[in-house]
Amino acid sequence: MSANEHLPLADTGLLRFTTCGSVDDGKSTLIGRLLYDSKAILADTLNAIEKTSQRRGMEAVDLSLLTDGLQAEREQGITIDVAYRYFSTGRRKYIIADAPGHEQYTRNMVTAASTADLAIILIDARKGILTQTRRHSAITKLMNVPHAVLAINKMDLVDYDQAVFDRISAEYREFAKQIGLEDVQIIPMSALNGDMIVERGDRLDWYTGPTLMEFLEAAPLAHSEVPEAFRFPVQFVCTADGNDYRGFMGRVESGAISIGDAVKILPNGLSSTVKSIDLGGRELQRAVAGQSVSIQLADQIDISRGDMLTSADEQPRIEKQIEADVCWLSETPLDTSRKYIVRHTARETRAMVAGIAYRLDINTLEKHEGAKLSMNDIGRVSFKLQLPLAIDSYAVNRATGAFVVIDETTNNTVGAGMVL
């Protein structure tokens, strides 16, 4: 047997997804099932959870134990933070950002969704669409997660009844349309028995769509679906002793760039063309979204960390006042009389709150005026900035439309913003 027979095939990249739902929906079991059926669990881990399952008097192995993390959580029996899990199918590597579903943990789901290419919203077939389903869906929309799956779990507890699935599907599609969440794939499943996760099973024959795994394997990756403009925030300027190398180091956040392309440098607005692109000493003709490279320009221009190279044709807005949907992350509420730091791409600026238009009730989507923002609240906030930022709308570009709010005193990250 040759070594390569065991290795992943020519791979189709890295997909990040988030799972939203509560322990009651069988979320931990679903993740355990994905890991188990894709053979990502090793023998010693399995032995440990088998022992624990037996100790707790269970007959089958409790797959939810695989995603149990920290001591405090084991004691409380709930998930208190975002946990990251990994598995690979041979075609793709997956990163799961597992966010807890309880209401008080909106900030955790916002955090998990911020990096996700896909969201799995889990519901219990017996209970149908609940307040938390609406909340998870609204956050998926708010965070502009490109793809979503509604996983109708525990079909085993409703006798795999198609009528139940059809009823929930119809109701959900109506709701999803209202909030503008498009193209949601709805999949019936039983995580407990493994139906429609990796294997189809033989109890859901009436369902002809993809299994969850088939859907994950085929989901388009970030940046691959719609045209995007080139954005390159400069993280670091590289100069080397003894030669005239002056490379602007950063990651292509969107679009692509080739040698000879015209670029604008923001915020100063100067123009130049790309002289060279390299990645770890290897010369590239072209760099694409996701790649961390070093770019030299044809002209001597003073550029430093926090500046942005952009497409000459399609430029972001330069703003000193921004309006955004903000999710508050800190136990200390937003204080409109204080100054904060806004970190956007590789740039930081001081900021003050110009106003809070409303607070959004994420469960009902009602807007409450004259509000303050406390932990887990989401609201429409405008900031005045000390330095200008080169921004795109978050709906168009998740990298150049996002920012975090930092408390200058504690240095904590206290808010997450999505620019309108």
Partner 1 sequence: MTTLLNKDTLTHLDALEAEAIHILREVAGQCSNPVLLFSGGKDSAVLLKLAEKAFRPGRFPFPLMHIDTGHNYPEVITFRDARAAELGERLIVRSVEDSMARGTVVLKTPDESRNKYQSITLLEAIAEFEFNCCIGGARRDEEKARAKERVMSFRDEFGGWDPKNQRPELWSLYNARTHKGENIRAFPISNWTELDVWQYIERESIALPSIYFAHTRPLVRRAGSLVPITDVTPARDGEKIEDVVVRFRTVGDITCTAPVESTASTIAEILAETATTTLTERGATRLDDQQSEAAMEQRKKEGYF
Site for partner 1 in 284-343 (CB under 8 A): 288-292, 305, 311, 313-314, 329, 343
Residues 239-278 close enough to bind partner 1 by CB under 8 A: 239-241, 243, 245, 247, 249-251, 255-256
Residues 164, 123 contacting (CB under 8 angstroms): no
Count of C-beta atoms within a 10 Å radius of residue 335: 13
Number of residues that bind partner 1 (CB under 8 A): 87
Is residue 161 within 8 A of residue 132, CB to CB? The reply is no
Minimum CB–partner distance for residue 280 and partner 1 (Å)? 3
Among 24, 37, 93, 203, binds partner 1 (CB under 8 A): 93
Instruction: Kindly state the smallest distance separating residue 31's Cβ from partner 1, in Å.
Output: 11
| Cβ distance to partner 1 smaller for residue 17 or 403 | 403
Asked if residue 35 lies in contact with residue 85, where contact means CB atoms within 8 angstroms, the answer is: yes
User: What is the footprint of partner 1 within residues 213-242 (CB under 8 A)?
Assistant: 221, 223-224, 226-230, 235-236, 238-241
Query: Angle 394-171-188 (CA atoms, 0-180°, nearest 5)?
Result: 90
The residue assigned the tokens 């956040």 is: 253
Q: What is the spatial distance between Cα 128 and Cα 312, in angstroms, rounded to a whole number?
A: 50
Q: Per-residue contact track with partner 1, 177 to 216, x per CB under 8 A? A: ----------------------------------------
Find the binder of partner 1 among 20, 61, 63, 110 (CB under 8 A): 110
Q: Verify cis geometry, omega within 30 degrees of 0, for the bond prior to 146.
A: no
Q: Are 254 and 399 in contact (CB under 8 A)?
A: yes
Residue with the two structure tokens 């979503």: 148
Q: Report the site for partner 1 in 393-412 (rule: CB under 8 A).
A: 398-399, 402-404, 406, 411-412
The residues, ordered by sequence, that sit 6+ positions from 121 with a Cβ below 8 Å of its Cβ are 20, 21, 133, 136, 137, 140, 148, 149, 150, 151
Minimum CB distance to partner 1 smaller for 204 or for 229: 229
For residues 244 and 369, which CB has a smaller minimum distance to partner 1 in the complex? Answer: 244
- Given candidates 85, 136, 264, 359, which one binds partner 1 under the rule CB under 8 A? 85
In whole angstroms, the minimum distance from the beta carbon of 251 to partner 1 comes to 5
Among 9, 279, 365, 395, binds partner 1 (CB under 8 A): 279
Q: What are phi and psi of 337, to 5 degrees?
A: -95, -5
Among 24, 50, 102, 115, binds partner 1 (CB under 8 A): 115
- CA-closest candidate to residue 349, choices 316, 310, 383, 298: 383
Q: What is the footprint of partner 1 within residues 349-378 (CB under 8 A)?
A: none
